Structure 1
Amino acid sequence: MKKGEMIEKESFDIIEQNVDLSNFSEEEKVVVKRVIHASGDFEFAKLIYFSKEWLTDFKNILGKKPSVICDVNMVKSGITEKYLRVSGLKTYCFISDDEVIRRAKELNKTRAEISMEYAFDRFENIIFVIGNAPTALLKVIEMSKDRDDKAVFVVGMPVGFVKAAESKKMLAESPIPCITNFGTKGGSGIAAAAFNALIKVCYHV
């Protein structure tokens, strides 16, 4: 075992020694441990939320060759290239697109929420990975209402004190297939780690 692998294994051993994971399925444990590993925060084991049929829903959307839409480039950068190769998925972030910037200024909205609209108009099947902007998550929830023509899965873990906790609570209470967490904690690295864990679960890498 390489040194990096040994350190990672030791980290996961420490997590299992300090956190009660008995209420999670084996697949959920992979996600929870990856999130804790990325954050250094054991409390995520109490905060993370999985929608009822999340694994079936995620596998179903994978079969539709979805696009992976990130709210910011930090999330996109955190998604492991190997997992994209294995899954055949492509990631996009439109927050710096000229049209998104123009429309955000014109409509007095955040670039994050306009970038979600931009993606929603262009793709039929989407996995949203949101780790920074609550406005992006709120926009996805809004757009997903009564849209049976769109297959959507959301990894929604924005961080912050303005609308972050509220947006994640709304996501958990919505019918949208998702993984999220309660409260103000989250972040780009957390969202990317959760998505990476989903690929590990589904492709056994």
Structure 2
Amino acid sequence: MNKIGKFGAVGILVIAGGASAASAEEVPKVFRDAPAQKGQWRMEILKFDGGEGDGEAVSAMPKSMSMCMDSIMDMAKKSEQQQGPSTCRGKILENKDNRAVYEATCESGVYRSTITREEPRSFVIEANGKSTEGSFAMTSRYTYEGPCKGNGGQPAISFDKNSEACKAMKARMFQMDPKIACAGATGAARQTCEQQMAQSLAQMKSMCE
């Protein structure tokens, strides 16, 4: 995973209010009208600085996406069961009705988020971090949209179907025909390959519906 991808993963767990890394009792008061650990959230990236040498990657990042926190929390629980508890330790440095500051210390580095309440269900979050991979600074707007749209199986992250991200994925999907991509394999290996490719295609499609 490249630097942008790693920061994106940190963003889901740390930028979204620190809710995933903190216990339920420690969710900042700023989220009193929106369930930080549940439901569908729209994230708009207002500003991103990934450090030197990331200009092209940053320009290619989608500027808006939708996140199902139910799915993200489920993924986090499964990861904890497989890999053990997270080594990140979080704490709330400031906890006011309209502003909160959250900091997470991980083996890889330290990450801090400042959450400002814009409207009852809309928040501007300024996040920054410094780790062995480099540093980043990111400003985003998070808006709670209600319960996740699907009844199970909802993708953790999805994009607008007409977005550049979906156009790029659709272009890749044309090159991912299981029978063509797995033509070099035989027997059980080919069957496994085709199943994996079909699952990847289904996942990509679900992110743009």
Classify the TM-score, shorter chain: under 0.3
User: TM-score normalised to the size of structure 2?
Assistant: 0.26
Determine which structure has greater relative contact order: mean sequence separation of CA pairs < 8 Å that are 6+ residues apart, divided by chain length.
1
- Structure number with the higher strand fraction is 2
Looking at CA atoms only, which structure, 1 or 2, has the larger radius of gyration? 2
- Structure number with the higher helix fraction is 1
User: TM-score normalised to the size of structure 1?
Assistant: 0.27
